[in-house]
Each structure stands twice: as structure tokens, then as C-alpha cells.
Amino acid sequence: MAEIIEAGVRVRFACDYLGPRETSDDAGAAALAAAVLELDALGCCPPLNDGLAAGNAAVRTAQGILLVTPSGRTPGRLAPREIIEIVDVDLDGWRVKYRAHAAKLRPTSDTMFHLAVLQTAWSDRAPAASLHGHVLEDAQDARHLGLPCSVEETLFSTLADYEATLELLRGAPYPAHRAWIRRGHGFIAAHEDLPRALAVVRDLLQRRGGSLKK
């Protein structure tokens, strides 16, 4: 695994907690939590050196609400009430405003990674769901699966990582491409909804040789 969590630092952008998340997005939160638990079951979210799960996801609901998974979750566990709503993102200030059930929750460190996929359209339409797993992370995997792969390896949760992701997407835009590999970071799969994004992941794993769960 290329990523190392140093001194418990996962989230590298500033976070402003705005209070509890609205209950109107409960169905979207439940669907997002279930999708991530399936990623776990497929072996895409191994624990990092701090013992907490790698891998995360995001979805834009039919109401236009951007939901992401929390940072530092326990492997194999994720409740809908832990899902986080992103209210505003300031890229210049590298800051996120969010709502969550509890102030101690933080958005996934890969929030900006997902934002690059879901909010930056290089075609006439953008995906609504993105899933990130910490497998399929090198050029060999990319060649085997025919996936676009970034050249540069950057530190997660940083502006450099966001910009490298944008560069990858510019060269291989959605929907012509629905999965990409960020070198040393893992894959990201995107589609118009979570079930279809999960189908992309299952197809990748099948072509690679099946579920990675031991």
C-alpha cells in the first residue's frame, strides 16, 4: 500500500462544521453507506497502517446534495448516520464546509478527489456517483484492464493530488471512461448512480481475477 497515515493525519484540508445533516437525504445516505460496505466485501478497502479503512465514496443525490463517506471509519462498518453532507468547497482556501450527525465526524480525506470527478464535467454530462478503492493502483493494472492511469504520484488530500486527478480526467473524460487509476492511490469508478458505479467495480475485479477479499 503506497499511502501511509502519519501521526493520525488523514484530512489535509480545513473543515468547518455547520451542524447536523438534513434528514431529507436519508435515502441517499443509506445507499452510499451500503455501496461502501459492498466495496469492503469485495476487498477494495483494506486497513491502512493506522488500522482504519481505506476506500471511500461520494454521491450527488436527486435533490442536488453532495454526500461523502467519513474519514477514518472502522473496516466493515458504516452507518447511514455517519454519512456527511458537503455544503461548500473553497479550493483556493483548501477548505470544506459540511454537515454531519456529530461534530467529531470529518469528511473523507479524498473529498476533493471525488469532487474532481463529480463536479468537473469534460463533456456534456457528469457522473453522480464515484467509488474509490485502494487496489488497482499501478501501471501494470492499468495496462491489463485498459484503464487510464496518471503518470504522477502525489500525496492524498492535497491540492497537488486534486490537480493531478483533473489532469487525468482531462485526458480521459467521462462518459467515454468510467474508471481511472491514480498511481499509488488506487482506482476511482464513476457512473450516473451508485448501482451502476458498483457494476463498473465488479467488472474491473472480474477481469482482474475476482474479488480481492481473503
What CATH number is given to the structural domain containing 192?
3.40.225.10
pLDDT value for 1: 38
Count: domains in the chain:
1
Query: Which domain does 35 fall in, by range?
Result: 14-208
Q: Is residue 214 part of a domain?
A: no
pLDDT value for 72: 85
pLDDT value for 214: 40
CA distances from 201 to 138, 172, 193 (A): 16, 18, 13
pLDDT value for 136: 87
Contact 40, 76 (CB under 8 A): yes
User: How would DSSP label each residue in 51-81?
Assistant: SSBP-EEEEE-TTS-EEEPBSSPPTT---GG
Q: Is residue 113 part of a domain?
A: yes
Helices 194-208 and 26-41 pack at an angle, to 10 degrees, of: 10
Q: Is residue 106 part of a domain?
A: yes
Q: Is residue 7 part of a domain?
A: no
Nearest to 117 by CA among 27, 188, 43: 188
Contact 192, 127 (CB under 8 A): yes
Model confidence over 6-25: pLDDT tens digits? 545 789 999 999 999 987 77
pLDDT value for 63: 86
Q: Is residue 213 part of a domain?
A: no
Contact 191, 197 (CB under 8 A): yes
Rounded to the nearest 10°, the torsion over CA 108, 94, 28, 205 is -50
Grid coordinates representing 75 are 473496516
Q: Is residue 8 part of a domain?
A: no
Low-confidence ranges of the chain (pLDDT < 70): 1-8, 120-124, 210-214
User: Cα-flanking dihedrals φ and ψ of residue 120, to 5°?
Assistant: -115, 100
Q: Is residue 3 part of a domain?
A: no
Model confidence over 166-183: pLDDT tens digits? 999 999 999 999 999 999
Taken in order 38, 110, 199, 42, is the CA torsion positive or negative?
negative
pLDDT value for 3: 58
